[in-house]
Amino acid sequence: MLSRIDHVGIAVASLADTIPLYEEAFGLTVVHQEDNDRQGVREAMLLVNNGEAGSSYVQLLEPLREDSPVGKFLAKRGPGIHHIAYGVADIDSALAALTTTGFDLVNKTPVHGTAGSRIAFVHPKALGGVLTELVEAVEGH
């Protein structure tokens, strides 16, 4: 079902303060930046690798509102790893399979993700405390 690690989502207080750390440490560059109002985030995607199975990124997430998933996470736990996202070829069949096996989904149908991707989250309580995202990327991303 899973084709790659698409991204690691990291909660940050400030994109402007954190992006330079990744540039300096690893020479990563921001290839996409976007506000996702429904998710309450301003995000930056830094490319790690373009592989045969698709690309992998670090996703830095700054909250647009305190009362958003990342805003609440920062208030409770401080900055750090927020979620892991796996690439899938067909998110509809992946969600159908998880529903059949009884996993608690935050999104039963896909919602809008980075750069036109279709995404859905599995509840952290269902996977040992790890918020998990599935991503069906747009061709070429």
85 forms part of the interface with Co ion (CB under 5 A):
yes
Please name which of 28, 35, 34 lies closest in space to residue 57, comparing C-alpha atoms. 28
Stretch that binds ligand V0V, among 12-20, 23-31, 82-90, 92-100 (CB under 6 A): 82-90
- The nearest distance, CB 124 to Co ion, in angstroms, is 13
If phi over 0 gives left and psi between -120 and 50 gives alpha, with beta otherwise, what is residue 74? alpha
The yes-or-no answer on residue 133 being catalytic is yes
- The nearest distance, CB 7 to Co ion, in angstroms, is 6
134 forms part of the interface with ligand V0V (CB under 6 A):
no
22 forms part of the interface with ligand V0V (CB under 6 A):
no
Task: Describe the strand order of the beta sheet including 80-88 as a list of residue ranges.
Answer: 30-36, 41-51, 54-63, 2-11, 80-88, 132-136, 118-122, 111-112
| Residue numbers annotated as active site | 7, 43, 59, 83, 133
